[in-house]
């Protein structure tokens, strides 16, 4: 009896990991084992926002930080919303762009990438999309090459207090934000 229960638990864990970490990466856009192509055409309202952010910006790092702050105010990720709004992961750019509030990490990372490339400060080769295990799900985040080196910009988990240029924790339930020094 006990041995059978252990084997059932082991198989559930194995199947869960295959579904979440392999099948999801094949089926969900922008979370693939390969980089997806960027849309050539973007909504005019999106380009207008990019142009507003570009004003006064001189470096890649500054634009990356400004775009991070822009999306931090506009959108957020979420652990449990992922399950309740699963269909949104397949939304095209034209549908996910106007949406405020919750967005899947994949959509949010893609919007950030579009902002960076269309700004003219970055080329696609300057941006890496990473996938990691996070809160028992697969999480997607962005890293961009700036004059300060490769910088993590994971706006999807900023809602738990992870600041700009910090890597995501693997489990947010135990995460304590770093103390910000007062300057």
pLDDT at 176 over 90: no
Phi, psi dihedral angles at 56 (to 5 degrees): 80, 0
Question: Predicted confidence band at 1 (pLDDT cuts at 50, 70, 90)?
Answer: low
Radius of gyration of the chain (CA): 18
- What is the spatial distance between Cα 112 and Cα 133, in angstroms, rounded to a whole number? 21
What pLDDT, on a 0 to 100 scale, did the predictor assign at position 130? 80
Pick the closest to residue 96 from 77, 79, 80, 83 (CA basis): 77
pLDDT in tens, 146-166: 999 999 998 888 877 777 877
Q: What is the pTM of this model?
A: 0.81
Residue 138 CA: distances (Å) to CA of 30, 31, 121: 12, 9, 29
Angle at 27 between CA 86 and CA 168, to 5 degrees: 65
β-strands 101-102, 75-76 pairing: parallel
What sign results for the dihedral spanned by CA atoms 31, 110, 176, 165?
positive
pLDDT in tens, 8-63: 888 888 888 777 777 777 777 777 666 677 888 899 999 999 999 999 999 999 99
pLDDT in tens, 106-157: 889 999 999 999 999 999 999 988 877 766 677 788 899 999 999 999 888 8
CATH number for the region 35-174 comes to 3.10.620
pLDDT at 179 over 60: no
């Amino acid at each position: 009896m006990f041995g059978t229960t252990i084997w059932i638990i082991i198989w559930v864990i194995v199947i869960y990991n295959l579904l979440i970490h392999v099948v999801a990466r094949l089926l969900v856009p922008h979370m693939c084992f390969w980089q997806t192509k960027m849309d050539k055409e973007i909504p005019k309202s999106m380009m207008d926002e990019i142009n507003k952010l570009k004003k006064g910006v001189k470096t890649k790092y500054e634009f990356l930080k400004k775009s991070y702050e822009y999306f931090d105010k506009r959108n957020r990720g979420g652990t449990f919303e992922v399950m309740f709004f699963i269909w949104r992961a397949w939304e095209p750019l034209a549908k996910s762009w106007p949406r405020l509030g919750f967005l899947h990490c994949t959509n949010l990372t893609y919007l950030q990438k579009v902002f960076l490339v269309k700004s003219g400060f970055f080329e696609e080769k300057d941006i890496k999309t990473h996938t990691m295990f996070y809160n028992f799900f697969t999480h997607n985040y962005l890293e961009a090459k700036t004059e300060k080196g490769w910088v993590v910009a994971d706006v999807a988990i900023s809602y738990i207090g992870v600041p700009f240029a910090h890597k995501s924790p693997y489990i947010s339930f135990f995460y304590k934000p770093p103390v910000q020094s007062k300057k």
